Amino acid sequence: MNVQGILPYARTLLQEIVRSGDTVVDATAGNGHDTLFLANLVGDNGKVISCDIQDEAIMATNERIQKASMSKRVKLHHIGHEHLNQLPSFQTAEIRAAIFNLGYLPKGDKGITTTGDTTIQAIEQIYSKLSKEGRIVLVIYHGHPEGKIEKDDVLHYVSNLPQEEAHVASYQFINQRNNPPFVVVIEKR
């Protein structure tokens, strides 16, 4: 396949704009793959604010970033992303980009998933701190029951962001079976 897959495309959207020294957010740390990817992009003077609600995810992400000697670039928080605005490091930051990899932790408890209302609260908080031309990238999984509700809630919210303020686009495979994940990107104008 030469067309970019969903996860590679989500990363392309981040890579295109994140520069050395930037502050970025991984709103769903999980196993830490995206946190590490972002840590590589922001360089020694940048910061990744990363959060998750599960011990397991915090431990896995911590281990991954320590192994890669990236701990200095990452601030890992055991909180829900709907509470990002309580972090002093977030309050004072201008955010260049954020990634949400929604759904449940791969190989983890499938009963613990992101939900529409808290995801939207976090998007609102990050959007208010986003730089001009900064991006929020969402990877939406809607093959599980909560994911379907979340998809509808999030799409309703982002579709109503004023066109004068933001570009909102989606990237998806439209001939795949079983509700494949897709990307939504919000770019502040």
Among 9, 15, 17, 33, binds ligand SAM (CB under 6 A): 33
For ligand SAM, the binding residue among 17, 59, 80, 179 (CB under 6 A) is: 80
Binding-site member from 34, 146, 150, 187 for ligand SAM (CB under 6 A): 34
Near ligand SAM in 101-130, by CB under 6 A: 101, 103, 105, 112, 114, 118
Contact call for residue 50 and ligand SAM (CB under 6 A): no
**Site for ligand SAM contains 180 (CB under 6 A):** no
Q: In this structure, how many other beta carbons lie within 10 angstroms of the beta carbon of residue 185?
A: 20
For residue 142, the one-letter residue type is H
Question: How far apart are the C-alpha atoms of 175 and 39, rounded to whole Å?
Answer: 34
148 CB-near residues (< 8 Å, 6+ apart) = 142, 179
Residue 24 in the binding site for ligand SAM (CB under 6 A): no
H/E element, 10: helix 6-15
Nearer to ligand SAM, 52 or 187 (CB): 52
Cα separation, 122 vs 176, whole angstroms: 29
CB-nearer residue toward ligand SAM: 107 or 163: 107
Alpha carbons 49 and 51: distance in angstroms, whole number: 7
41-49, 52-60, 155-163, 181-189 -> range binding ligand SAM (CB under 6 A): 52-60
188 touches 131 (CB < 8 A) = yes
Binding site for ligand SAM (CB under 6 A): 28, 30-34, 51-54, 57, 80-82, 101, 103, 105, 112, 114, 118
